[in-house]
Structure formats: C-alpha cells, structure tokens
Structure 1
Amino acid sequence: MPAYESVIGLEVHAQLNTESKLFCACSTKFGNEPNDNVCPVCSGMPGVLPVLNAKAVEYAAKLGLATGCTVQNKSVFERKNYFYPDLPKGYQISQLQQSICTAGVLSVEVDGKKRNVRINRIQIEEDAGKNIHSAAENASFVDLNRTSVPLLEIVSEPDLRTAEEAVAYLKALRSILLYLGISDGNMEEGSFRCDANVSIREKGSEEYGTRCELKNLNSFRFVQKAIEYEIDRQIDLIEDGEEVDQETRLYNPEKNATFTMRGKEEAHDYRYFPDPDLVPVLIKDETIAAWQSELPELPSEKLERFLEDFKLPADEAELLSGELAVAEFFEASVEAYKGDTPRKVANWIIGDLLPHLNDNGMSLSDCKLTPESLAGLVELLDKGDISQKIGRKIFPELCETGADPEKLVKDKGLVQVSDTGALEGVVDEVIQENPDEAEAYRGGKKKLMSFFMGQIMRKTKGQANPGVVTELLQKKLG
C-alpha cells in the first residue's frame, strides 16, 4: 500500500473593521436588524456608482507588508459574475489578475518543525449578503446588511501538509490581523472564515492530486476535523480504485463528515473583467513606506522579545504572545509587579486566568481583573501574606469584581499567619495532642509530617504559613 501525503491550500476571508462599507457609507456594524445597513449602492440599484473606501486599501497594504508581500503600485477591481439571491448586483466586486498584494510568506511551527507557507496574493473584495431559511415559515429571506462589507481574501499556495499545520497557519494569520488592529477576527460572527483546498498524492510525487474545496469553516476545531475527514475520504476512494471528483464540499460538524455542495468552479466560470465603474488603485512608493513605518510590533517580534526579556519557556511565550489582548495584559501586569520574577505573573495568566475565561465563556474584556490586581496578588504570595491555596480561592472573585486583592484578603480574614511566636503555641499543642504520631515520626515515619500539617491548618483555619509551620515541626519533632 503506498504512503500518501496531503496537499492543502487555504483561502481566508477576513472582514475589515472599517466603520463604513467598501463602496458606500453604510455602517458595517454587526447585529443590526435585517436590511438596516443598506442603501441604493450596496443593494445594487440601477445607475448608482461605487466609491472606494480608502481605509480598506490601507489595511490591505499593511497586512501585505506584515506578511512579506509586495504591495503593488497598481491594482484593479474586477467583477466576478454569478447569480445568487444574496448578491443583488449579480456580480461581486473583487480582484484577481492585479491584486493589491502578492508573493508573501508566513512561517508556522508544528511539533518543532517549521514550515514557510507562501502567500499567493491578498485581494480586496466586497462581501455578499446572507440567506436566512425559516423552516417554521417555509420561507427564505435575504439580509443585505453584510453586502459590500470590506473583506481581504488571503490565498495561500498549496504548501501545507497536515490539518495541524493548517490550523497553525490560521492562528498565526488571525494573530497578525489582531495586532494590526484591522479585523476583530471573530469566527463566530463570520469576520474570519476559511475555505480549504485539499488533495492527496503519493509521497515523493511532485504532481498534485484532484482537489476538493471545503467551504466556510468557522472554527479552528472544525477546520482541523474537516480536513482530516477529507484526507481520509480521498485516500479511501483511491484505494478502492475510484477517482476523486473536483467539487466544493460542506462540512457537517454533527456528523463529522463532508458532503457534496456543487461542482468546483474555475476562474473562467465567473467571467472576470475589470469593473468599468472603478478606476485602478494607484499607490505611491512613499505612501507604502509610510504605512510600513506605522506597523506595530508583530506577533513573531513580540514572541522573540518575551523569550529574551522575560526568560520564558518557548511554549509559554508563544501562548502569551499569540493573542494581542493577552500579550498586553501580561506586559501591563509585569510592569505593575514589584517582584523580579515575571514568570510568576505568566504562570497565573496561563494556569488560572485563561482557564477561568475559557470555563466561563468569557473574553479578557468581560473580565474585571486588572493587571494591577494580578500583580498585587502575586506580591501577596511573594511576601507570604497568603498561600497559593488562598490565592486560588479568591481568584474567581477578583475576576468577577475587580477588587483589590490586599483589601479582599484582609476583609475576609485570610491573611496568612507567618509570625513564629504565634504559630509555635499551635505546633506545641498539636504535638501534645498526638503523642503516638509524634513518637512514630521520630521513629522514621516521616510521611506523618502531612498529618501534623493538616492538624495545624485545621486549628488555624488554613491561615498558617506552611513554610514556617514545616520549619517549626522539623525543629520540635527532631
């Protein structure tokens, strides 16, 4: 049986967070009543003329610069012709032959192996509307709010070889978009969605197999599962002596399977031609240079700085730098922290804050914990005022209320007792109450230390400093 490898290329659509649409002044706000954000231009009324949103051009160029693309001095808008109820003009304004950005690269790493994924092009295009099907009313409706919302289509070369690499590429691309501040990357609302072209071939072959396109995958998990299923499906077909048909397929997450949607179209099927209502986009070299100078620190640069400045392990630095909001929270917390071990702050974010957000379906913006409060919590631990157990006990309340940790532990009477004189009497009392255990400990049963620790913690309601107690017990038990 031959060994196979998969060949994967991705087409990503990222909605730009401009205030107005690509060719008109209508709002791009998500969640408005159906057909609220609509005018004669985006609804395709006869005789109207589009006017290009300059901010969309700037955002597209900045993504190109951030991914090593060449920003073209001249790009052209074209009409992509097809009929669908959510496309009122009967065509979509896009780019193909002369896109705004070309020939970039994005590096990803999976299981310690680095892969450079070439970006064929980044093009500006308008979104279509949304069809809404109501089984209860036995009717279909069209919402044009999304029509002409500005998108960037980022088309990769078929350089990916596994579903894991595809997900890593998507996460890296989304992270760059967020760092640039040009898209919110919200997959649930459709601001960041992906089509995957998947084929297989025998290992060592240079020829591509027949590809299938998987449409509108709206979560990283579904991207991975859909690609994995499609790879297995194509291998099964070939091994059964059948052929893979070139087609567009949809992924059903409930059945974890892909299903035929339609035959795969080629570019010529859409009859692309330059849009006669839009002049070419001309960008001067000095404008491109100015946009280059405005680029923020990018995820890969921040990762390197976290490794260098904070001496974090690679996996922790990667996790903290991957999301802009998390990276900014971490840096603000470290700046507020008076200690000299930034990794302690990192550990609380990775081990406690992020799981808390995930378990409660929250984002950082929903959480009331401030960087100053997190820094204060770590400082209380550094000083021995509270134990890790108490820190974790109050952590959910800090996230829900934004309370000052020092005031909170004082108000609740949770300040740890570290005074040797105050604890010595409790230690003596526990030893006197348990003479048999004390004798057994002295006879070599050192595991009884946890027994004595538990008794002391019970008497002090968990407020005794474990380090001080251990030192006193070792001294008095010998």
Structure 2
Amino acid sequence: MPLSDYIVTIGLEIHCQIKTQSKMFCSCKAGAGDEPNTNICPVCMGLPGALPVLNKYAIERTVLTGLMLGCHSPEISKWDRKSYFYPDMPKNYQTTQLDLPLCIGGGIPLYPWCYPSDIVKKGLPELRTAKLDHIHLEEDAGKLTHFSGYSLIDYNRAGTPLMEIVTAPDMHTPEEAYACLKSLQQIVIYGGVSDADMEKGQMRCDVNVSIRPKGQEELGERIEMKNINSTGAVRRALEYEIRRQCKDLDRGITQVQSTRRWDDERGESILMRTKENAHDYRYFTCPDLVPIHTASTVEAMRKIVPELPLEKQHRFVHEFGLSDYDANVLVSDVKLARYFEEAASDPKLGKKVANWVINTILGILNEKGMTPDECPVQPQAITGLITIIEDGTVSNNQAKEVFTLLWDQPELSPAEAAKKLGFEKADTSFLDAIVEEVVAANPEKVAEIVGGNDKLLNWLTGQVMKAAKGKANPKIVTEALRGKLGLS
C-alpha cells in the first residue's frame, strides 16, 4: 500500500542538559571541555557511602521550562532509581523521576519558521502544538568514545543535570518532529535554561514512531531510535524508518516493539534490542533523597518567565511594523533579536534597522562563524548609520563602505567614519539648476506626477541623478523635486 494508506504516529524523548555550574547531586563542575575524568567525586562515581545533595538551581530551571511550555507541577515531586548496567553509568543505576515528575502536561508550539527550509519555502505551515506527557529531571551519563577494538570513557558528564522532555504520540510527519526540536531549542535558550547545542551533546533525542493502516484505532508497535544528535538526522531517521516499516507491513511482516540505532552515515537504522519496558529497569523510590514540595518554586519561577519567541514575533510585527518574514528571522535567535531591539530604539526606524540586521549583518556573521553578541559594530552604530543616510550625509551605497570601516574600527562613530572616508553632507545648491532643467524638459511627466502618479517621481529622480553624474544623493534629489513641484 502507498504511504498515504497508513497513519504515522511520532513521539519524541528529548534530553536537554541544564546550564548549571555544578552537577545534579554533587558540587563537581558541570560542563564539557576539561581533561577527561577530572571533574568527578565519590558521589557522581557512585562510590559506597557517598550521599547525593539536590541541585536547587536545576530544579528551578526545570520548573521554569515547564511553565514556558504550559505544564503544571504536582504538589509533591519525588526521585527514583532506574537500575541498569552500562559502562557510562558508574553507579549501575540512574537517579531520575518516574511517577511524580516535576512537570506534567503542556505542549511544545511548532513555530512555523522552525520547519525545514524546503518546507518553509513552499509557505509557512500553520501553528500547532505538540502535546507533552511530562518533563522529568535526572542525571546524565558519562560519555563513551568508540574506536576499533576498544572504547574510552569520560565521566566528567556523569551527574550533569538533564531534563527529559517527553512528548505524547502527537506528531505525524518527520517535518513536525524537526520543527518540535527547533522550537524547543529556541524556548529553552530564551529562558536561559540551556544552550541546547546538539553538536556538543547538550540536547539529544530519542525518536518513537509507529505505523498503522488507516481505520485502525490501536497504535502500531512502537519502534524507538536512540540518541540522535541533530535535527536533520531526526528527519532523515524518521523518513527511513517510516519507509522501512511500511515495506514490512506491505509484505505481511509484523513489527515488534524494539530499540534501534540510527547510523546517519549509512542512512539506515540497526536493531539493538526488543521488548524493552519500564519494569525491565526495576524502578524504585530513591532512599537517599526526600520528595520536594513544588508550590514555592513554581511561584518563584512564574515571576521570571520570559517573553517567548512567538510573543516576541507578534510584538515585532506590531511595534516595529516588520513583515512576518523579517520578524521570524529576528526572533529565531535570541541574541539577534536583542541586537535588533537595541538598534531600533526608535520604533519608526524598525524596518530600516531590520533590513541592515538581516541583509548585511547576519550574512557577515554567518560567513565568519560569529554570534550577534560578537559583532564589533554595536547596535547604536546601526542607528547612527541610518541617521546619516536620512540626513543626506551618505547614500545607501556609501553607507555600506561606512559599515565596513566601522567593522574594522568600531571605536569610530558613523559620522566620524563617514568623514574619514570623505563623505560629508553635500552642498545641494548646485542641484537647483539641474532640477529646474529636468522639470522644464519633461512637462508631460511632471503633469502626471502632480496628478498623483508618484511612481514617475522615481523616474524623474533618475534623470536628475544622471545629469548630476552621480554626485547627488537620491534622497536629497527626491526632496528637491518634491519641493519644486509643491508636493512636500
């Protein structure tokens, strides 16, 4: 049967490291980049007699994430042990949460601009929300690096605070899963909860997918693919797995609940194990940690919930008069949005500032691999640059030269940079005679302009510019023509 005869159901289990100074249950330094196995202690190594202590900040940031995603918290949340043996988990169990997690319900909005570019080019999808089951807090495992014939392990990551954000089986296409991950990345970054860099392992994803024929109410058998580390890989893995399951079902091969590994280089999933359920992990309540009352934490975090990307997008459109496209681009990066807002201190300049940020600055930053907060040209300089364009000191093309100088010498003001390049506000008295000649030579065009055909004013400006041999500023020319024709 064709794919259209099947119903695809997708759920995600997203692991997101919380940006903290210390680990979840001890005072060891959290984060990556240090010498392997240097940020460890008896607690995170699970040595006998070592007792854990809760990281309050990690609990608060998990609750904040839940509030940003519309979750509620149970009155009491508790900790559990998930038992399993694997080299990356030195204690042979993971301290996690099972039946009373910190956050329950809610949903992840699938921002239209977060879909893959090939989908966005066809038109922005409608906004919808993928339902969440829960968010629980746990400790991360160590990091294994595999080589031919042996493996190395770094326990520095073991014990790092890790949120597991579990969606309901509520998505139906690889593109929705892609948008879900991208949207969540933006939300946790806006909240300062995590940097969510998938290349650095700060966010990872397990993908669950099942297929069933149309008309069948019961979900198909759940197939899980573990530890996928990029949004693109999630999309590719789902596309492959959906095709594989459909082909099996077409041939009468029943699917068995299983866990598979996604090999992005080979472009295929590989069976790891079958029939894995919660009881296999022998969960039980952690005897070393007391349950926590959540009410005071929820109220404290509610006060610091930030303006989220969709809210900011709407505000940019209405406050600064931006197009949906420009607002989408700006809010997709919280640092870019912040840069824009500082530059557009006067909302009336919003569109012009957005043009500079999106069409000039963003391209250079991407080319140089820099972030907006690393841009040497400060936001206030963009405001100043637009000012000297508006007052006729420089033309748009000359402003680009000024910007280039400001990039190399950011200590200069735009006016100083313009003067250094020899761009000064021109004496426009020489234009009067040229404007007079051009107006006299084109009576029919002038009559149409005076009659309301504003588009011809650009043509007339071009004639003056040609006669001035490029020495005039187009904005000043247009103003002079308007004055001459009594239009200003």
Which TM-score band applies after superposition, normalised by the shorter structure?
0.7 to 0.9
User: Who is 1:70 aligned against?
Assistant: 72
User: Who is 1:127 aligned against?
Assistant: 140
Over the matched positions of the two proteins, sequence identity in percent amounts to 42
CA 202–305 in structure 1, closer or farther in 2 if over 3 Å, else same: same
Give ranges in structure 1 of 5+ residues lacking alignment.
429-447
Partner secondary structure for residue 123 of structure 1: strand
CA contact (8 A) 1:26 1:37 kept: yes
**Are residue 317 (structure 1) and residue 327 (structure 2) matched?**
yes
| Larger mean Cα displacement after TM superposition, 120-129 or 313-322 | 313-322
| TM-fit CA distance, 1:420 | 5.2
For 1:43 and 1:216, how far apart are their aligned partners in 2?
Answer: 23
CA 452–107 in structure 1, closer or farther in 2 if over 3 Å, else same: same
Per-residue Cα deviation, 1:383-428 (whole angstroms, up to 9, x for no partner): 3333333334454554455353332232122457573517978x99
**Are residue 51 (structure 1) and residue 18 (structure 2) matched?**
no
For 1:242 and 1:251, how far apart are their aligned partners in 2?
Answer: 21
**Are residue 42 (structure 1) and residue 44 (structure 2) matched?**
yes
CA contact (8 A) 2:24 2:161 kept: yes
Alignment of 1:59-208 (within 5 A): 59-110=61-112, 111-135=124-148, 139-208=150-219
User: Who is 2:232 aligned against?
Assistant: 221
User: Who is 1:436 aligned against?
Assistant: none
User: Who is 1:296 aligned against?
Assistant: 306
| TM-fit CA distance, 1:372 | 0.5
Give ranges in structure 2 of 5+ residues lacking alignment.
113-123, 438-458
CA contact (8 A) 2:461 2:478 kept: no
| TM-fit CA distance, 1:454 | 9.8
CA 126–152 in structure 1, closer or farther in 2 if over 3 Å, else same: same
| Larger mean Cα displacement after TM superposition, 226-235 or 397-406 | 397-406
User: Who is 1:443 aligned against?
Assistant: none
User: Who is 1:421 aligned against?
Assistant: 430
For 2:425 and 2:279, how far apart are their aligned partners in 1?
Answer: 74
CA contact (8 A) 2:465 2:474 kept: no
CA contact (8 A) 1:14 1:151 kept: yes
Partner secondary structure for residue 21 of structure 1: coil
What letter is aligned with 1:106?
I
Q: 1:406 aligns with which of 412, 415, 422?
A: 415
| Larger mean Cα displacement after TM superposition, 225-234 or 271-280 | 225-234
Alignment of 1:380-395 (within 5 A): 380-395=388-403
What letter is aligned with 1:114?
L
CA 41–350 in structure 1, closer or farther in 2 if over 3 Å, else same: same
| TM-fit CA distance, 1:50 | 0.6
For 1:253 and 1:452, how far apart are their aligned partners in 2?
Answer: 59
For 1:7 and 1:418, how far apart are their aligned partners in 2?
Answer: 69
**Are residue 344 (structure 1) and residue 355 (structure 2) matched?**
no
For 2:269 and 2:299, how far apart are their aligned partners in 1?
Answer: 45
User: Who is 1:363 aligned against?
Assistant: 371
TM-score (norm 1): 0.84
| Larger mean Cα displacement after TM superposition, 44-53 or 408-417 | 408-417
| TM-fit CA distance, 1:281 | 1.9
CA contact (8 A) 1:384 1:418 kept: no
Per-residue Cα deviation, 1:63-93 (whole angstroms, up to 9, x for no partner): 1112111112211111111111111001111
CA contact (8 A) 1:133 1:140 kept: yes
CA 200–472 in structure 1, closer or farther in 2 if over 3 Å, else same: same
Q: How many residues align?
A: 449
CA contact (8 A) 1:14 1:152 kept: yes
For 1:237 and 1:169, how far apart are their aligned partners in 2?
Answer: 28
**Are residue 306 (structure 1) and residue 308 (structure 2) matched?**
no
User: Who is 1:236 aligned against?
Assistant: 247
CA 286–28 in structure 1, closer or farther in 2 if over 3 Å, else same: closer
